[in-house]
A and B are shown apart, each in its own frame.
Chain A
Amino acid sequence: MNTIRLIALLFLLALGAACGTDDDSAEPRDTLQRGIPTDPETLDQHKARTIQAADVQRDLGEGLVGYSAVGELVPAAATSWDVSEDGLTYTFHLREGAKWSNGDPVVAAHFVASVERLVDPDTAAFYAQFLSDIAAIEAADDLTLVMTLAQPTPYLLSLLTHPATFPIHTPSVKELGDGFARPGKLVSNGAYVLDAWIPGSVISLRRNEHYWNDASTSIDKVNYHVLVQDSSELNRYRAGQLHITSTVPPDSFAQVQAELGDQLHVAPYLGVYYYGFNLSKPPFKDNPGLRQALSMAIDREQLTAKVTGRGEVPAYSWVPPGTHDYEPPALSYSAMTQAERNQVARNLYKAAGYSDDNPLRFELRYNTSNTQGRVAAAIQNMWKEALGAEATLVNEEFQVLLSNIRGREITQVFRSSWIGDYNDAHTFLKILESDNPANSPGYASDEFDSLMQRAAEQTDLDARRLYLEEAERVMLADHPTIPIYFYLSRHLVSTEIEGWGDNVLDYHYSQHLSFKAAQ
């Protein structure tokens, strides 16, 4: 008797605990539900480094310059700016009446403090080298900011849209130190304020009434739901619980296209998916012909059509098409048929000393994931059939792979990618400069480095472009990497939402969005 009572009591208690603390009300219509694939590691703009952190920060803060819904540079915290003749001095005129979420005015000193904190070694900021071209920055008065550069930096304005350059509310940082970015404490100057953050679950934002442009912000509240599995995110969208997804799972793409085609937004995205070579060890060291052979033997068209299957663009250059003011050169074999490529590849392979009796054996490393595994298996097969080369697949967790790539000891061919930080070819080309820490293959070409240096010295934009394009041509011929395809951004956007603009940087500020008026 007692045992039954005990069990029943347990059950009721648990049920009560479950229901008691819940809010059963349906979601109010003024709240935007968005999906995000992982938690930001922090909302402190100097310590953050991931794309997810930047996405949320773009709703919370505002820099000197911003983007419109379709990806055009527009004034934000600064209303206008003057550039000196030699391109080295920028004078920004800040917006009068702009306020922080606690009512304090936004002044130039806040921007200066932000840059100083960014480059301070004690902050250990990820993007410290971002603003390495800034030689000096000072607040001429409350509303005037003067930046002096070491070199003409044509992409500076694009840089200044990045959250790492957002101003900081100095009184908060002084009082709270590194804890200034927590919910309830964070003072922001953008369209929204941080309401709550439950790690692993949801980040809640609400309207910042002191924002200078609050009148044109339509949506009151935004919830970013942390959904690590893209299939879960899709399920929630289908069930009507999400308005915007962060991606579309590759295996469901065809079906989503068929059923939800009018809500599917696919756009070119500034990112390149590539396989890198470890250039410091054999067999790929000093062996450009062999590297080219491996690159040519990959049937990128088949790969993007059948394996990744979401419409990616095969990559025959390094910098993605659509990059601002740039015409990427193409690899010499981009116009050949795959059969022709295989033929040339085989010759190169033989010339490097390999044959069916003496096949090339190496390891291909990639990070653990269904998609990466499929791509790797497909490419492994292509190399086998076209050349007879035998690649062994090794999958590792992301952190491990990165650490191995950095170490340059055991890697031979590895999978990697690069997403542009700003809309300029420079962000892609600079990582192959010999002294750049993100130079994954260890590419060191004097010719490339000097062309990049010359480009950085130009004030004339056309001349600069020519130098960059030439640098890319040199790099492509050396084959330190195998560009495979260019990324696409994919989102499902509910028909209830208006104001969505596809753009190459995949920035979608919540303040540009609104709910369609109820019928």
Chain B
Amino acid sequence: MLRYTLLRIVGAIPTLLLVIALAFLMVHAAPGGPFDDERALPAEVEANIAAAYHLDEPLPKQFVRYVSGLLRGDLGPSYRYVDYSVNELIATAFPYSLRIGALAMALALLIGVSAGTLAALRQGTALDRVVMGFSMTGISIPVFVVAPVLVLLLAVKLQWLPAGWSETGGAGRYILPVVTLALPQIAYIARLTRASMIDVLGRDFIRTAHAQGLGTATIIRVHALKPAMLPVLSYMGPAIAAILTGSVVVEEIFGIPGLGQFFVRGALNRDYTLVLGIVVFYATLIIALNLVVDILYGAIDPRVRYR
């Protein structure tokens, strides 16, 4: 187990370096720099600023400088937010993305697994079709269509929920963003669970349990749920990535000061270090989370463990 973990970690490093190099090149290849403005700078001032941020050095040198900073855990200064370093910005913004993302994931699992199980138990009935129909709609309608419509209805017209993010809004302000973000994942997880549960319920050991007189609820709880969860578990990796992706849209729409919003703004403003910092941060996070998922998978499914 330990060896497996260590091997995976070591294996991830080259990928990480590749990701960083790629992002670095793309960001610096983009036309337009971070200091362009309508109020044009006189030439000497521009030169001074470029020197202060090492932008006048050749690209490879800048890259080496950046990576050595990374090794010290320093993601550099932000070009756009002059008073803040990238570390500070990420530290401020990440908790928002984390809370919304974690809530959405938990909600998606809760509802998705329940709905999928229900559909599997009632396979072929109207309930099954309804659940599957809803889940299909969840995948199909884009977030940036659903979100503004919901805001208009529930927040502005009915005033049931807050119109957007605010620092002191209480628990209510989470509802719309979390639900919007969770919707596509609920759909995917419901479908996965249904298919997997149908498969598991058809197996011999379940029939044995039936024959022994155990009730449906007990069978599911004790015997069927764990093996049925395996495909859902292996979907967790891409699910987390999907939630991160979705958070970019949701944060943009609801005005949540999370990492997704900072990323898009940073890309548009050519805030090189912020953009790179967020890419590095997310890449590390996801690789780590995937590792956790793999270990969990190994813990649940003994067949996988011994490689």
Contacts and interface: CB of A to CB of B under 8 A. Distances in A.
Are A and B close enough to touch in the complex, i.e. CB under 8 Å?
yes
A127 B41 CA distance: 8
Contact of A199 (B43, B81, B174, B221): B81
A398 B252 CA distance: 18
Interface of B: 30-34, 36-45, 48-49, 52, 80-84, 89, 92-93, 99, 102-103, 105-107, 109-110, 113, 148, 151-152, 155-156, 159, 162-171, 174, 221-222, 225-226, 229, 252-255, 257-258, 261-262, 265, 268-270
A126 B41 contact: yes
A437 B37 CA distance: 11
A425 B80 CA distance: 31
Given A128-B45, A232-B255, A42 B83 contact: yes
Given A14-B99, A124-B48, A232 B36 contact: no
B226 A11 contact: no
B44 A121 contact: yes
A236 B168 contact: no
A129 B42 contact: yes
A85 interface: no
Contacts of B107: 11
A426 to B, nearest CB: 15
Contacts of B265: 200, 228
Contact of B270 (A23, A231, A238, A399): A399
Interface string A33-65: 000000101111001010000000000000000
Contact of B31 (A11, A179, A403): A403
A41 B49 CA distance: 15
Contacts of B33: 399, 403
Nearest to B151: A235
Nearest to A186: B83
Given A47-B82, A181-B83, A397-B268, 10 more contacts: A1-B225, A7-B113, A22-B171, A23-B167, A121-B44, A227-B255, A232-B163, A239-B159, A397-B32, A437-B43
12 contacts: A4-B221, A26-B168, A41-B80, A42-B81, A198-B167, A200-B257, A232-B163, A235-B156, A236-B166, A239-B163, A397-B268, A406-B36
A36 to B, nearest CB: 12
Contacts of A258: none
B93 A22 contact: no
A208 B89 CA distance: 27
Interface of B is mostly: helix
Interface of A is mostly: mixed
Nearest to B45: A124
A199 B92 contact: yes
A175 interface: no
Contact of B36 (A2, A228, A399): A399
A172 B49 CA distance: 23
A18 B103 contact: yes
A182 interface: yes
Given A42-B81, A400-B31, A403-B31, A238 B167 contact: no
A418 B156 contact: no
B32 A417 contact: no
Nearest to A436: B40
Contacts of B102: 10, 13-14, 17
A72 interface: no
Contacts of A49: 37, 39
B156 A238 contact: yes
A227 B168 CA distance: 16
